[in-house]
């Protein structure tokens, strides 16, 4: 037993010694490579300095000459035109990719189509607006959420396309204006015969509804005035007037308030439904600094140095392998 335990202890000491030597050798190798790297940089410091200066100069040139500006339009597709809207935006984007400047200029009306780089559309997630004053949408959200994650339901394509507000995003290579890009795009999207007919009938229905509501409100006012006159007359005759809840006067007053609120909502709808694709906000010419935009003065010097180091490493590797092959 004692001899076995002694052998195990010696073996463990040997293993620890070998591990220690391996770690020391590893760090020595790393230190040697770092030192060689420092010597290499010191030896070629002039080349490194030139590469940095050239990279910074070229980077400033690219940052000034190659720019990208973001533009955003918040719109509302009315009369069930959301699928039409998305298909038209996809069509315009495909024409941009194909560099079809004839279509963009003559059909869409964009005055400087070569400056347009891309255009996309996405829904603005607003589930509260989606279910506001709409119990059917609220029940739909609950029903769909029972079979899956509520976040996936809210952000899903089926639900998100039915949100009231959507964001059209397009980028340009130079500063642009509403006259050159935004107005032509909106006019093109609103140039649809089918939805123009739907809009006309929808607005006509709203106006008829408002006229009917005004008539009912006038009739309710007449009823309330008659009741008020009866009350005042009874007071002058010193007679008691008993109010019976079965007269449903409270319901009449409630109906009047609901009709007044509805009239206010309909007036707002008349404003919002004057276009098939209604724009509510336009933000233009935001300089894009994402990704490598505006950062070339930092990227190019680093890239040049990496390329130079790779070439140096490749030459060293080639020479070593050549010497081995000769031996």
Same domain, 153 and 281: yes
Q: Would you say residue 97 has pLDDT above 80?
A: yes
Q: What is the CATH number of the domain that holds 90?
A: 3.30.70.100
**% of the chain with per-residue pLDDT over 70:** 74
* Each residue's pLDDT tens digit, 206-257: 999 999 988 988 888 887 787 766 555 555 555 444 444 445 677 888 888 8
Same domain, 10 and 114: no
* Each residue's pLDDT tens digit, 18-70: 777 777 777 777 777 777 777 777 777 788 788 888 878 887 777 666 678 89
Same domain, 130 and 86: yes
**Total domains present in the chain:** 3
Same domain, 89 and 118: yes
The per-residue pLDDT for 102 is 92
The per-residue pLDDT for 254 is 85
Same domain, 190 and 80: yes
Same domain, 83 and 121: yes
Query: Taking the model in full, what pTM does it have?
Result: 0.66
Same domain, 170 and 217: no
Q: Which tokens in the block code for residue 39?
A: 């010597």
Name the least confident of 62-66, 79-83, 198-202, 239-243.
Answer: 239-243
Containing structural domain, residue 262: 199-272
The per-residue pLDDT for 231 is 54
The per-residue pLDDT for 104 is 92
Same domain, 94 and 237: no
Total Cβ atoms within 10 A of residue 69? 19
The per-residue pLDDT for 132 is 59
| Arithmetic mean of pLDDT, 110-121 | 91
| pLDDT top residue among 294 and 103 | 103
Q: Would you say residue 124 has pLDDT above 50?
A: yes
Among candidates 299, 327, 254, which has minimal Cα distance to 60?
Answer: 299
The per-residue pLDDT for 186 is 94
* Each residue's pLDDT tens digit, 269-321: 888 898 999 998 899 888 877 766 666 777 788 888 888 778 877 887 777 77
Same domain, 135 and 150: yes
Burial letters 187-203, b for 16+ CB under 10 A, else e: ebbbebeebeeebeeee
Same domain, 96 and 142: yes
The per-residue pLDDT for 156 is 54
Same domain, 211 and 259: yes
The per-residue pLDDT for 242 is 47
User: Mean pLDDT across the chain, nearest whole number?
Assistant: 78
| pLDDT top residue among 123 and 312 | 123
The per-residue pLDDT for 43 is 79
Same domain, 59 and 178: no
The per-residue pLDDT for 240 is 45
HSE-CB of 302 using CA atoms within 13 angstroms: 5
The per-residue pLDDT for 149 is 55
**Cβ-based burial of 264 (10 A; exposed 0-12, middle 13-18, buried ≥19):** exposed
The per-residue pLDDT for 230 is 57
The per-residue pLDDT for 66 is 65
| pLDDT top residue among 59 and 192 | 192
């Amino acid at each position: 037993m004692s001899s076995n335990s002694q052998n195990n202890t010696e073996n463990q000491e040997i293993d620890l010694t070998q591990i220690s030597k391996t770690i020391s050798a590893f760090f020595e190798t790393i230190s040697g490579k770092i030192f060689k790297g420092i010597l290499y940089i010191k030896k070629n410091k002039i080349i490194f300095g030139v590469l940095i200066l050239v990279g910074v100069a070229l980077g400033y040139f690219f940052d000034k000459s190659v720019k990208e500006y973001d533009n955003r339009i918040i719109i509302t597709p009315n009369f069930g035109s959301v699928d039409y809207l998305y298909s038209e935006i996809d069509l315009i984007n495909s024409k941009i990719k194909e560099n079809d400047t004839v279509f963009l200029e003559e059909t869409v009306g964009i005055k400087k189509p070569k400056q347009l780089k891309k255009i996309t559309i996405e829904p603005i997630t607003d589930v509260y607006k989606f279910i506001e004053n709409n119990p059917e949408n609220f029940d739909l959200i609950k029903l769909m959420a029972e079979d899956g994650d509520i976040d996936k339901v809210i952000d899903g394509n089926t639900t998100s396309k039915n949100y009231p507000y959507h964001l059209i995003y397009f980028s340009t290579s130079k500063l642009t204006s509403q006259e050159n890009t935004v107005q032509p795009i909106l006019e093109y999207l609103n140039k649809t015969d089918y939805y123009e007919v739907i809009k006309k009938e929808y607005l006509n229905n709203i106006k008829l509804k408002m006229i009917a509501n005004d008539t009912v409100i006038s009739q309710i006012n007449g009823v309330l005035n008659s009741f008020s006159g009866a009350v005042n007359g009874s007071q002058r005759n010193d007679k008691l007037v008993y109010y019976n809840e079965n007269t449903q006067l409270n319901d009449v007053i409630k109906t009047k308030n609901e009709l007044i609120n509805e009239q206010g909502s309909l007036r707002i709808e008349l404003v919002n439904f004057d276009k098939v694709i209604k724009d509510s906000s336009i933000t233009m010419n935001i300089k894009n600094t994402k990704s490598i935009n505006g950062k070339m003065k930092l990227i190019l010097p680093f890239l040049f140095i990496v390329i130079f180091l790779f070439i140096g490493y490749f030459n060293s590797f080639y020479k070593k392998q050549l010497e081995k092959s000769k031996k």
